[in-house]
Chains A and B, each alone.
Chain A
């Protein structure tokens, strides 16, 4: 029983087609604004035509073709473009869907997607602009919703995105097909940007907020990348890492929005299907024997996810993985995290010795003082613990974080009262 597509169906079809369609249009026009306008125009026509004529079999091909043709007409009328794209880029002008669909599967098409995402994380752009641009252009999220996610006014976000686009236009879209080295550089930049999007959402306690939605958006972008480049173990690692972190969303905050530590979380609230998917993807990545920072971090998160109870956690495995991470991507924050594993394995004193040299590097870091306070408290050095927690509160970036540390202080006072 054929039925006309309902508006929801069309809507999700358009959202689903967006990244690939815009990526292809960017290749034709080499101009972000023009590509976006062309896609918009194609969407408007789809909304009009699909309910009347039925949806096309290859919706993406349809949108690309219609978008390109309408934009070309528009460009010709406006005579804005002095020079049309070269003939080789236009050689697929046959208005025949199968031909277009075939091209969509070709290898250079994968580079379209990579280029589109890479353009959004141009090194000249500050991180906040990169994320905003990717969300606007690749994901198609409205400026209003992005502004809400970033807790800024819509006007300010509009300006941020306009500025970012102007910079990119000035720098020029990297049109040439990337070589292997360049491709892997683009890959690294895109991975980092996707993880930034995720982390923006990760800190939000309200799972229904615009901001928390960014986690799901980042996961979609990683899936998109993996569909285009299925054999990239680090992208598998990133996707698995985000799924594992996201699986705990329902357990990470109490009803006041204060964060709950991993060991205190109700593990029955963890999303089992996300964990299962992540574990399956890590299995796949391991077959490549090319470990990298995302895979190692995912493996660490997986060891937490596999533990039914906190006391079942494989801390020795986590310690080893953090050591591997220290070798590949050394940073004081990694050492701080490893110290938590050492705490569980060898006790608080060993962990405290381990983080002592980090004082300079992490003196302005909230978690450093939080961990240090907890270690000192366990060792009964309550005055020092109090100072460390005090320093943490001073550095807390959210009220919820500060509240969390105050609770630690309360525990300290209570235990102090009991022992004295």
Chain B
């Protein structure tokens, strides 16, 4: 069985962490990552929401920032390897035609570990 664990927190708080605090959190997480290494699959850390763009599907409208509505529920996500935001948006638009309604939030990924390896060398954000 595959599950996803989606991480939520307040960016204003996490961005207030000092480098040491960030490193301490990462070290604590890393312990858990190691312990469950056989169970972890891809792990990724997203860039801050300032790098997010949202495509509102029904209006085919691109707006800045993360998807902030609470009416809809998170139903899935893709990871795409593209040259730039334009290309990511092009793919999102085609998906939107195939499956209208709701929105896609397009957010770059900061760290990506495809095999779930522990993030020893993760740079502090």
Q: Is B truly associated with A?
A: yes
Chain B positions 1-60 with a Cβ under 8 Å from a chain A Cβ: 10-17, 21, 47-51, 53
Instruction: Name the distance in Å between B69's Cβ and chain A's nearest Cβ.
Output: 11
B15 and A276 contact, CB distance less than 8 A = no
Asked if A331 is at the interface (CB within 8 A of a chain B CB), the reply is: no
Asked if B96 is at the interface (CB within 8 A of a chain A CB), the reply is: no
Asked if A277 is at the interface (CB within 8 A of a chain B CB), the reply is: yes
Q: In the complex, what distance in Å separates the CA atom of A8 from the CA atom of B13?
A: 11
Q: Which residues of B contact A236 (CB under 8 A)?
A: 50, 64
Instruction: Name the distance in Å between A114's Cβ and chain B's nearest Cβ.
Output: 16
- How many A-B pairs have beta carbons closer than 8 Å: the answer is 77
Q: Which residues of A contact B63 (CB under 8 A)?
A: 230-231
B21 and A12 contact, CB distance less than 8 A = yes
Residue of A224, A231, A271, A276 touching B12 (CB-CB under 8 A): A224
Instruction: Name the distance in Å between A356's Cβ and chain B's nearest Cβ.
Output: 40
Q: Which residues of B contact A271 (CB under 8 A)?
A: 123
Asked if A20 is at the interface (CB within 8 A of a chain B CB), the reply is: yes
Known contacts being A227-B50, A287-B62, is A273 close to B111, with CB within 8 Å? yes
A283 and B21 contact, CB distance less than 8 A = no
Q: Which residues of A contact B81 (CB under 8 A)?
A: none
A273 and B125 contact, CB distance less than 8 A = yes
Q: In the complex, what distance in Å separates the CA atom of A19 from the CA atom of B62?
A: 29
B123 and A223 contact, CB distance less than 8 A = no
Hey, what's the 0/1 contact readout for B79-95 against A, CB within 8 Å counting as 1? 00000111000000000
Residue of A16, A223, A284 touching B13 (CB-CB under 8 A): A16
Asked if A272 is at the interface (CB within 8 A of a chain B CB), the reply is: yes
A273 and B15 contact, CB distance less than 8 A = no
Instruction: Name the distance in Å between A195's Cβ and chain B's nearest Cβ.
Output: 16
Which residues of B approach A to under 8 Å, CB–CB? 10-17, 21, 47-51, 53, 62-65, 84-86, 108, 110-111, 123, 125
The count of chain A contact residues (Cβ–Cβ below 8 Å) is 28
Residue of B10, B48, B50, B53 touching A16 (CB-CB under 8 A): B10
A230 and B64 contact, CB distance less than 8 A = yes
B12, B21, B49, B65 pick with most chain A CB within 10 angstroms: B12
A276 and B108 contact, CB distance less than 8 A = yes
Instruction: Name the distance in Å between A148's Cβ and chain B's nearest Cβ.
Output: 16
Asked if A155 is at the interface (CB within 8 A of a chain B CB), the reply is: no
A15 and B16 contact, CB distance less than 8 A = yes
Instruction: Name the distance in Å between A265's Cβ and chain B's nearest Cβ.
Output: 18
Q: Which residues of B contact A220 (CB under 8 A)?
A: 15-16
Asked if A280 is at the interface (CB within 8 A of a chain B CB), the reply is: yes
Chain A at the B interface: mostly helix, strand, loop or mixed?
helix
Instruction: Name the distance in Å between A20's Cβ and chain B's nearest Cβ.
Output: 7
Residue of A8, A15, A231, A272 touching B64 (CB-CB under 8 A): A231
B84 and A273 contact, CB distance less than 8 A = no
Chain A positions 270-311 with a Cβ under 8 Å from a chain B Cβ: 271-273, 276-277, 280-281, 283-284, 287
B12 and A17 contact, CB distance less than 8 A = yes
Q: In the complex, what distance in Å separates the CA atom of A402 from the CA atom of B27?
A: 42
A280 and B47 contact, CB distance less than 8 A = yes
Instruction: Name the distance in Å between A176's Cβ and chain B's nearest Cβ.
Output: 26
Closest to B86 in A: A283
Which residues of A approach B to under 8 Å, CB–CB? 8, 12-13, 15-17, 19-20, 220, 222-224, 226-227, 230-231, 236, 239, 271-273, 276-277, 280-281, 283-284, 287
Q: In the complex, what distance in Å separates the CA atom of A17 from the CA atom of B12?
A: 7
Q: In the complex, what distance in Å separates the CA atom of A171 from the CA atom of B63?
A: 37
Q: Which residues of B contact A284 (CB under 8 A)?
A: 51, 53, 64, 85
Known contacts being A223-B48, A236-B50, A283-B84, is A277 close to B110, with CB within 8 Å? yes
Instruction: Name the distance in Å between B4's Cβ and chain A's nearest Cβ.
Output: 22
Instruction: Name the distance in Å between A99's Cβ and chain B's nearest Cβ.
Output: 16
Q: Which residues of A contact B111 (CB under 8 A)?
A: 273
Known contacts being A273-B110, A283-B85, is A223 close to B51, with CB within 8 Å? no
Closest to A219 in B: B15
Closest to A13 in B: B13
Q: In the complex, what distance in Å separates the CA atom of A19 from the CA atom of B16?
A: 11
Q: In the complex, what distance in Å separates the CA atom of A223 from the CA atom of B48?
A: 9
What would 17 A/B residue contacts be, using CB atoms closer than 8 Å? Answer: A13-B13, A15-B16, A16-B10, A223-B11, A224-B12, A226-B65, A227-B12, A230-B65, A231-B63, A273-B47, A273-B111, A273-B125, A277-B50, A281-B51, A284-B51, A284-B53, A287-B85
Q: Which residues of B contact A230 (CB under 8 A)?
A: 50, 63-65
Closest to B48 in A: A223
B49, B86, B108 pick with most chain A CB within 10 angstroms: B108
Q: In the complex, what distance in Å separates the CA atom of A222 from the CA atom of B49?
A: 12
B62 and A227 contact, CB distance less than 8 A = no
Known contacts being A227-B49, A236-B50, A273-B110, is A20 close to B12, with CB within 8 Å? yes
B13 and A12 contact, CB distance less than 8 A = yes
Q: Which residues of A contact B50 (CB under 8 A)?
A: 222-223, 226-227, 230, 236, 239, 277, 281
